[in-house]
Structures are given as structure tokens and as C-alpha cells.
Amino acid sequence: MTVIMGILNTTPDSFSDGGRYLDADAAVAHAAALRAAGAGIIDVGGESTRPGAERVAPEVERERVLPVIEALAARGVVVSIDTMNAATAAAGVAAGARIVNDVSGGLADPDMFAAVAATDADIVIGHWRGHSADMYAAARYDDLVAEVVTELQDRVGAAATAGIAPSRIVLDPGVGFGKRGDQNWTVLRDLDRIVGLGKRVLVGTSRKGFLRDALGDEPGLHRRDAATAVTSVLAADAGAWGVRVHDVAATRDALAVRRLWRDGGA
């Protein structure tokens, strides 16, 4: 069964819900709604990674996320911390997070893998070629999917060297990170090559710009959520372990229909 990771941004500047959940109580309430809608994991982030976003001081990031993680973990929620900072990752796990979701795959902070290795948390290693302020500068590939696969393999090797067991690693192809427009569709079309690396794979397409561009006419979030649900089903068909989304209910329903279609209504 495909795991749904619900997105919880405790930031003022995330591209679709910035500022809505800066207050810890509002964030915890939203997490409860995501969980009730079908999220198996709540991914808590305190720094926006939207294109053009500026970095946030790790101290500010921790002030935003740690009270929320503590509150959710106390309620038995499976929490992931979305961070590129090793110190924040370690503090998040100490607060109760079970997964570290690093979109940079350990490249933004060279201490990340060692910090995670010292815990029992799993880690999501994203494919990444630079920070949000200039993430498209390196969106140049001779063989896109082959390079993504190779670069992810390199990061897996670095994680193993740091002491992270292979069973603790999840791979993320980095849709929208260092990839422009149709490059994202190319990665998704060949997702089975990343699944073929033998790790769990997490796919995050939710509300991203390449979906907006595909739909045209600056579609509202409800249309992008519908498109996200479709990509979630296709990712599941390609063997993805999990999908990371804002609208959990739409993706839950789409995956339920996929299961019924596949199993003949059983």
C-alpha cells in the first residue's frame, strides 16, 4: 500500500500555504486533519524550499518545528522532519520525529548523514543540485534520468559510509528541484529506474509549477490537487513507496480507486 505523507509547512513563505500554520496550535490542528484524511506520515518543515526562497537560520527553523513535532509525537503521530540542517534534524528526532526528509540528500549540510546515523531515524535522500535561490542554474543534463540515478547512488554510498543502514534509506527523485518543466515529466516517466535501485521511493509532485504549466491558465490549487492525485496514482503504479501531498483526501481517494481497479473491486 502506498504511504501518503501529508505536508505541514510551519513557514511564512511556502508557495501555497505560507503563514497558515506558523502558530503551533494551528499546525497541530491541521496535522490532525491530515491524519484523519488518510496521511500515514506528517512531514513538518520550517524552511520553504520553493524556487527563489531564501535560507532560514537553523535556530528560527527549530523554533518553528520542534513544538509541533513534540506535540504530534506525543499523540502517536508518525512525524517526518523536512530539513537540510543536521542540527535541526538531530533535534527533530530527539523531539520525536522518526524520519528525516532532506531534499538536498545531505549536500546542503555535510554533517547531515553523520547526524542521522547517530539516531535510529530513517532518511529521505532527495536528488538536488542547489539551493532554492538558484536551483535551476544546474538544470543541465546530457542524460537526465541516468544522471539522477547516478547522483542518487552516490548519495546512498555517502550515507552508507556515514553509518546509515541501507534499510533506513528512502530515495526521492527531486521533482521540481534542479529540473525545469518537461524535465520533471521525463523523471516521472522513468520512475521505475529509480525504484529499480532497490530502495523505497518517495515522490513529491504536489501543487508544483510543472503541473501548473501543464494545465495552463494559472489553475487554482483545486486543479493542481487533482493533477497531483493523478501523479500519485501513476507513481504508485511505477512502484513508489510513498507520495508527499498537500491535499491528502484527494490522493487517498485516487489511490483507493486505483486499488479497486487493480483488484476488481475486492
Q: What is the pLDDT of residues 73-115, one digit of tens each?
A: 999 999 999 999 999 999 999 999 999 999 999 999 999 999 9
Residue position matching grid coordinates 493542481: 224
**According to the model, what pLDDT value does residue 92 have?**
98
Q: Based on the domain organization, do 145 and 181 belong to the same domain?
A: yes
**According to the model, what pLDDT value does residue 132 have?**
67
Q: Based on the domain organization, do 13 and 135 belong to the same domain?
A: yes
**According to the model, what pLDDT value does residue 22 have?**
61
Is 262 one of the catalytic residues? no
**According to the model, what pLDDT value does residue 131 have?**
77
State the total domains in the chain: 2
Grid cell locating 153: 547512488
**According to the model, what pLDDT value does residue 11 have?**
78
Q: Based on the domain organization, do 173 and 212 belong to the same domain?
A: no
* Predicted TM-score (pTM) of this structure: 0.93
Neighbours of 118 (CB within 10 A): 14
Q: Which of 35, 208, 224, 252 is catalytic?
A: 208
Residue 221 pLDDT exceeds 90 = no
Q: Based on the domain organization, do 108 and 213 belong to the same domain?
A: no
Q: How far apart are CA 174 and CA 159, in angstroms?
A: 17
pLDDT tens digits, one per residue of 241-250: 999 999 999 9
Residue 204 pLDDT exceeds 90 = yes
Q: Which of 155, 179, 199, 244 is catalytic?
A: 244
CATH code at position 49: 3.20.20.20
Is 208 one of the catalytic residues? yes
Q: Based on the domain organization, do 153 and 98 belong to the same domain?
A: yes
Report the pLDDT averaged over residues 117-124: 98
Residue 201 pLDDT exceeds 90 = yes
**According to the model, what pLDDT value does residue 130 have?**
81
Grid cell locating 35: 491524519
Listed range (34-38, 61-65, 213-217, 257-261) with the worst mean pLDDT: 213-217
Q: Based on the domain organization, do 221 and 116 belong to the same domain?
A: no
Q: Based on the domain organization, do 186 and 253 belong to the same domain?
A: no
Going from the C-alpha of 176 to that of each of 24, 56, 148, 191, 263, the distances in angstroms are 28, 20, 13, 14, 32
* Residue (of 8, 188, 184, 176) closest to 82 by Cα position: 8
**According to the model, what pLDDT value does residue 56 have?**
84
Report the pLDDT averaged over residues 34-38: 97
Q: Based on the domain organization, do 67 and 179 belong to the same domain?
A: yes
Q: Report the phi/psi class of residue 131: left, alpha or beta, with left for phi > 0 and alpha for psi in -120 to 50.
A: beta
Grid cell locating 224: 493542481
Grid cell locating 126: 532527495
Q: Based on the domain organization, do 46 and 154 belong to the same domain?
A: yes
At residue 93, the 3 state secondary structure works out as helix
Q: How far apart are CA 81 and CA 92, in angstroms?
A: 6
Residue 38 pLDDT exceeds 70 = yes
Q: Based on the domain organization, do 122 and 85 belong to the same domain?
A: yes
**According to the model, what pLDDT value does residue 49 have?**
72
For residue 168, what are the domain limits? 3-204+235-246
Tell me what the pLDDT averaged over the chain comes to.
92
pLDDT tens digits, one per residue of 42-66: 999 998 776 666 778 889 999 999 9
Residue 260: exposed, middle, or buried by beta-carbon count in 10 A (0-12, 13-18, 19+)?
exposed
At residue 178, the 3 state secondary structure works out as coil
Q: Based on the domain organization, do 116 and 216 belong to the same domain?
A: no
Q: Based on the domain organization, do 105 and 10 belong to the same domain?
A: yes
First to last CA, the chain: 14
Residue 15 pLDDT exceeds 80 = no
